[in-house]
Structure 1
């Protein structure tokens, strides 16, 4: 599995980009989403980026275009089904089709259950689970009509184990894996991939409200791998032939237990 990083990527010509896949990415304003967008654009795919921070999306799109890639964006709230449907419609209007959806948006406010941070629980459920379901609901009819498509859901190694302070976060990522496997079994003309990152350098820890808990999480990130490592795994899955369905990839630091 190989792909160039954003700093060394040689972006293919615009004419080549027009032959690439149309890839929609949620949570694309930073971290894994941004890294994936840059790598896919460098590989000749046309990317359509969504996130709440429209100004940051615009900056990323500008940089991709400056390098010769094909990119566009739209402000997106994955917790709102109509926002996700508008996002997909806008991508269709821009590029004529939808080949791949990368459901990447997620939040991770860690806390012990006894802290009773119910608002944070609901936020994780809304973004990490409903956001994925909204993405599937918005693209599935389009992909069925096309007779082909690929849905990539970003889960986590937290979807494979449960740790203290992360019970609800882990539950949402277990749910992502379950939803993905159900969709895979129901599909014969669609590809479904789950990518589970381990410790990765992103902005997720910034969403931890408990400052002590945040400090612990950030200290653990000392062994974290760059977001491009996860982006390369997604590029690998997307780039396989139509008859090859890469179902699950776990990418973690060598030093992670």
Structure 2
């Protein structure tokens, strides 16, 4: 997706009106801290973080801002897409113990914050955490 979008974003960043373009990748707190039984998920999120930072370094001087949003617990269908055995294991790890997870609109608000900064500022990394999550 990034490969297809990047030429258009580089051209947009040269536009006299805004003079900047943005890519925001969505990762997870699991891309910062590995946890038992989540190795593959951790690997994919660490990969998103590494790719994002590498790309940021490659295109930042061309006024394309690259950032990664790393949310904590979000109220999504993620757990429901697993088998019953995995859901039972996840419940045993207390993933559902966070009483007020973030909502999708919290993630959208974070992305809006990242892309509406003045063109001189890049939010390269942003955590969005439920207040109740340790």
Q: TM-score range by the shorter chain?
A: 0.7 to 0.9
1:239 alignment partner in structure 2:
116
2:125 alignment partner in structure 1:
248
Q: Is the 8 A contact 1:193 1:248 kept in 2?
A: yes
Deviation at 1:248, TM superposition (A): 0.8
Deviation at 1:211, TM superposition (A): 3.3
Q: Give per-residue Cα distances to partners, 1:112-154, cap 9 Å, x unaligned.
A: xxxxxxxxxxxxxxxxxxxxxxx21110111123334210000
2:11 maps to 1:150: no
2:82 to 208, 211, 224: 208
1:175 alignment partner in structure 2:
47
Q: Is the 8 A contact 1:208 1:214 kept in 2?
A: no
Deviation at 1:220, TM superposition (A): 3.0
Counterpart CA distance in 2 for 1:201 and 1:238 is: 23
Q: Is the 8 A contact 1:200 1:221 kept in 2?
A: no
- TM-score, with length taken from structure 1: 0.45
Residue correspondence of structure 1 range 21-170 to structure 2 within 5 A: 135-146=1-12, 147=14, 148-170=20-42
Q: Is the 8 A contact 1:201 1:221 kept in 2?
A: no
Higher relative contact order (CA 8 A, sep 6+): 2
- Aligned CA distance change for structure 1 residues 151 and 227 (closer, same or farther; 3 Å): same
Please, what is the CA RMSD of the aligned residues? 1.7
1:92 alignment partner in structure 2:
none
2:64 maps to 1:198: no
Gaps of 5+ in 2: 15-19
Structure 1 SS opposite 2:66: strand
1:228 alignment partner in structure 2:
105
Deviation at 1:214, TM superposition (A): 4.4
Gaps of 5+ in 1: 1-134
Counterpart CA distance in 2 for 1:213 and 1:223 is: 21
- TM-score, with length taken from structure 2: 0.82
How many positions carry a matched residue from both structures? 123
Counterpart CA distance in 2 for 1:144 and 1:225 is: 32
Counterpart CA distance in 1 for 2:124 and 2:87 is: 37
Q: Is the 8 A contact 1:158 1:173 kept in 2?
A: yes
